[in-house]
């Protein structure tokens, strides 16, 4: 399956190549499972990634629905480039305005948005964020833009597993018109993308834009792997994602107790798998993350609202360690190492040994068809 061409869609009359009957069965099962997990009428997994999925959607909305202006999140307020001028909207010449965001909580300011939107009346609001500690007000935004027929795109690349597991609000159920996502990250599957929607009016434009306009052959081996991931989330998603949130909150609480500045402490730190530490030392967050990487702890630097040259946000995600079987008791140990390394009062060799020893106690994966719970 890894080398066989797959041009087209399911069915002998829709494929450009033969020998794909079994592949069609797997892809059909994958779609059924995606529709169940995301509670939608339509799903298409033939995308190479979340950005690819967004590219398709922005092309569809512009070419078929006359959408050319949008409001979205600035990258310094949690937004990502695939939904801003550096990504597909820029290539497709969308007119872009930034959503108003509270700089302290990184949550959308609904009152400010409603005031702004009355004058601008964006035809599209795009909600996509790589820094999402709390659920977006999807219903409230949709209620506002519905007054002039505005559409809402939700890019759930970082929340897909949480949504499928039922621990994060389903954007389609709250009024989003189209939902896109990466199938890696919290979804815990292979690198790829998916588009989900309910209204039939999007079906033909999305399908024909995926193939033949923006995709040739999609990888059948990835579809098979994604099908397995869907089955695992259907069986274990709630428990898996709920534990990930518990781990994230434990990490945030312990990091703050060790003297680090963790975002949104007054709001309970996080309602997702993510934790963000504000790091204002002269070295910046990027070098701090590499110091953590040298001892076997992986985080990444992200921009925060006041950043200009150096990034000051350190973002942690709890999904991968949760998949290994780590729970709150081990998080306590890990948080001590992280804080010590960042603050410079933990011997790096000793820290590396602690992390290595902790990792060695967990073999295989939990919440999987092979590993079970």
Helical segments of 258-317, H only: 284-293
User: At residue 105, does pLDDT exceed 80?
Assistant: yes
Whole-angstrom CA distances from 144 to 73, 100, 116, 303 are 17, 14, 11, 29
CATH classification code of 237-360: 3.90.1150.10
* CATH entry, 21-231, from 3.40.50.720, 3.30.200.20, 3.40.640.10, 3.10.290.10: 3.40.640.10
pLDDT of residue 324: 95
The pairing of strands 42-47 and 193-197 is: antiparallel
pLDDT at 358: 95
pLDDT score, position 66? 98
Assess whether pLDDT exceeds 90 at residue 1: no
> What's residue 299's pLDDT?
98
Please report the pLDDT score of residue 3 as a whole number: 85
Backbone angles phi, psi at 271, to 5 degrees: -120, 15
Does the pLDDT value for residue 372 go beyond 80? Answer: no
The pLDDT value given to residue 72: 98
Asked whether residue 2 carries a pLDDT value surpassing 90, the answer given is no
On the question of a common fold for 21-231 and 237-360, the answer reads: no
pLDDT tens digits along 41-55: 999 999 999 999 999
Q: Where are the domains of the chain?
A: 21-231, 237-360
Exposure on the CB side of residue 80, measured as CA atoms within 13 A? 17
Question: For residue 145, what are the CA distances in angstroms to 1, 138, 189, 200, 351?
Answer: 44, 11, 34, 21, 51
pLDDT at position 87 is 96
């Amino acid at each position: 399956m890894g080398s066989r061409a797959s041009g087209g869609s399911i069915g002998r009359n829709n494929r450009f190549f033969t020998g794909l009957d079994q592949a069609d069965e797997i892809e059909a099962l994958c779609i059924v499972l995606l529709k169940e997990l995301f509670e939608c009428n339509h799903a298409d997994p033939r995308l190479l990634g979340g950005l690819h999925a967004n590219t398709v959607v922005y092309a569809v909305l512009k070419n078929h629905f006359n959408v050319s202006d949008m409001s979205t999140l600035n990258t310094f307020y949690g937004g990502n480039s695939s939904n801003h001028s550096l990504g597909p909207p820029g290539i497709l010449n969308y007119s872009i305005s930034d959503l108003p965001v509270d700089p302290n909580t990184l949550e959308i300011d609904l009152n400010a948005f409603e005031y702004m939107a009355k004058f601008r009346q964006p035809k599209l609001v795009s909600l996509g964020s790589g820094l999402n500690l709390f659920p977006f007000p999807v219903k409230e935004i949709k209620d506002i833009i519905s007054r002039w027929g505005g559409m809402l795109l939700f890019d759930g690349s970082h929340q897909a597993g949480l949504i499928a597991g039922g621990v994060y609000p389903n954007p389609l159920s709250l009024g989003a018109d189209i939902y896109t996502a990466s199938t890696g990250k919290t979804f815990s599957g292979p690198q790829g993308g998916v588009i989900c929607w309910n209204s039939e009016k999007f079906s033909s434009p999305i399908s024909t834009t995926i193939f033949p306009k923006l995709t040739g052959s999609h990888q059948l081996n990835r579809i098979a792997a994604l099908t397995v991931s869907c089955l695992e989330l259907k069986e274990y998603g709630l428990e898996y994602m709920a534990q990930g949130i518990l781990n994230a909150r434990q990490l945030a609480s312990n990091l703050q107790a060790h003297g680090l500045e963790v975002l949104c402490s007054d709001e309970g730190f996080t309602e997702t798998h993510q934790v963000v530490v504000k790091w204002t030392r002269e070295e910046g967050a990027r070098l701090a993350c590499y110091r953590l990487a040298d001892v076997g702890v992986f985080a990444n630097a992200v921009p925060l609202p006041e950043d200009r040259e150096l990034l000051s946000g350190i973002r942690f995600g709890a999904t991968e360690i949760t998949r290994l079987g780590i729970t709150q008791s081990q998080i306590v140990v890990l948080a001590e190492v992280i804080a010590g390394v960042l603050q410079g009062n933990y011997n790096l060799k000793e820290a590396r040994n602690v992390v290595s020893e902790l990792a060695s106690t967990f073999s295989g994966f939990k919440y999987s068809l092979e590993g079970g719970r």
